Chains A and B, each alone.
Chain A
């Protein structure tokens, strides 16, 4: 029921390939990648580093170009950056001369939306992720997890159709990461954005996703697309359930088969 009219996905990836040239050598980053993402769906791109998942994410919203194939969003071919989007990178990318709330409002300023009207929402959003009272702190005064929360608020303040996250919690400690996963799920259940998460954590992908696109390294191709039908909201102890473990085990085995992991 998630799929839109004509049964088409919101984001339609059609046989996308990408080649990088460096020092005369050509590296095939992506090869013939085809899949769709439905509106309101949470999809993870899971794979080892260097499998082109970040490149794929950039191509998804027109921030990078594909060498062949095409991306369609809501049935329109993407040839320039698609701006109805919020992005979170692994590095929070906060501007260190702006306070937390000013960093969130950068999104509003650049889009030439009324900053005054959005500042209340920005404050509420920051409070929603546990940063009440930290609005006027500079990034240098915030912890890594707090900075990433500010970055998440900046990606959501303009209520975008699509939320992209490129290993957003990769630099955080395990406990903070668990908490961020919980908070992200909460926010996502509230707002039901179409979300794309790039990650190399199998657990994180299973915990957060509706579907996981498992990718192979060099060239990046789709090894398998797995539907995660664990009930939501998922609590952290859901990670101990047999079903969860079956998913992670299955994906780990897949990486063994692909040669990404090896026991020897």
Chain B
């Protein structure tokens, strides 16, 4: 009796799992990934590639298992820099874009500075940061902030400006204050665009931190990369790159989850359905 109840309860779950598999949500990407790894492994073994050039996936996996405490610590160090730098870029970027919307003077005075900061290759600043701020967290955070700031500001600007004029007329007819118009209409309207900026910015943020660690740091995945490369320890380089990829994915999905929590009722899914892939 108990058995039957259990099996009938797990049946829908089984069906669901089956449906997922049939739809190829997991199976297609997993197969393609496995295929790539297998080809890599086979190629390394067949051509007998030396380990300091290209290690095999199995060797990298072994390295990952052996030295994961060291990597975990480095990842933690990089992640803090990414979170703080990116967080600062969000906290400063969105209000800056908001002020640029409302004040023409502010927009005109800030825009040349913003553009100069973006056109300038920020890697060129990294040595200066070391001179000014040493090897600690600060230069890393600053680099991360600088590199992820621009896409946030620009996409926030576009989003905040995309409010339909009729919507604002409607609000004026309701006697709306600027504050109300911002929180009830302007900001929610801008959210998809702002999150577009955040997605780009979070991947930039990872690059920013790693670049800063490359140039001068005593911790983090970038630091491990530089040291390992110096020792011709290609195995560790590959392992560090894998950790970087995993961390990048994690941050990107964190932003995506935040987006899903913040944005509801959008027509995107429906238009995708009706558009049948167009």
Contacts and interface: CB of A to CB of B under 8 A. Distances in A.
Interface of A: 58, 61, 63, 81-83, 85-87, 89, 91, 93, 95-99, 106-107, 109-111, 138-141
Interface of B: 164, 166-167, 169-176, 180, 184-185, 188-189, 263-267, 270
Contact of A85 (B166, B173, B185, B188): B173
Contacts of B172: 63, 81
Given A93-B164, A99-B265, A61 B173 contact: yes
A140 B269 CA distance: 10
A91 B267 CA distance: 16
A86 B266 CA distance: 26
B265 A93 contact: no
Contacts of A93: 164, 166-167, 170
A82 B174 CA distance: 9
Given A93-B166, A140-B270, A107 B265 contact: no
A63 B267 CA distance: 30
Given A91-B164, A91-B166, A97 B173 contact: no
Contacts of B189: 95
11 contacts: A63-B169, A63-B173, A89-B166, A96-B265, A96-B266, A98-B265, A106-B174, A107-B174, A110-B171, A110-B180, A138-B265
Contacts of B267: 96, 139-140
- Which 3 A-B residue pairs are closest in the complex by CB-CB distance? A138-B265, A140-B267, A83-B175
A106 to B, nearest CB: 7
A109 B183 CA distance: 12
A65 B166 CA distance: 16
Nearest to B167: A93
Given A93-B167, A99-B265, A110-B174, 5 more contacts: A82-B173, A93-B170, A97-B188, A110-B180, A110-B184
A83 B174 contact: yes
Contacts of A109: 180, 184
Contacts, number: 63
Contacts of A91: 164, 166
B265 A110 contact: no
A97 B267 CA distance: 9
Contacts of B164: 91, 93
Contacts of A140: 265-267, 270
A40 B15 CA distance: 62
Nearest to A90: B166
B167 to A, nearest CB: 5
A136 to B, nearest CB: 10
Contacts of B174: 83, 106-107, 110-111
B175 A106 contact: no
Contacts of A86: 173
A97 B169 contact: no
A110 B169 CA distance: 13
A83 B270 contact: no
Nearest to B270: A140
A58 B175 contact: no
Contacts of B167: 93, 95
Contact of B188 (A82, A95, A99): A95
B264 to A, nearest CB: 6
Nearest to A98: B265
Given A97-B266, A106-B184, A81 B173 contact: yes
Contacts of A61: 173
A262 B57 CA distance: 79
B264 A95 contact: no
Contact of A83 (B166, B173, B180, B265): B173
Which of A96, A111, A139 has the most chain B CB within a 10 Å cutoff?
A96
Contacts of A99: 265
A85 B176 CA distance: 13
A97 B264 contact: yes
Contacts of B265: 96-99, 138-140
A145 B188 CA distance: 24
B175 A111 contact: yes
Which of B175, B176, B184, B188 has the most chain A CB within a 10 Å cutoff?
B175
Nearest to A92: B166
A82 B173 CA distance: 7
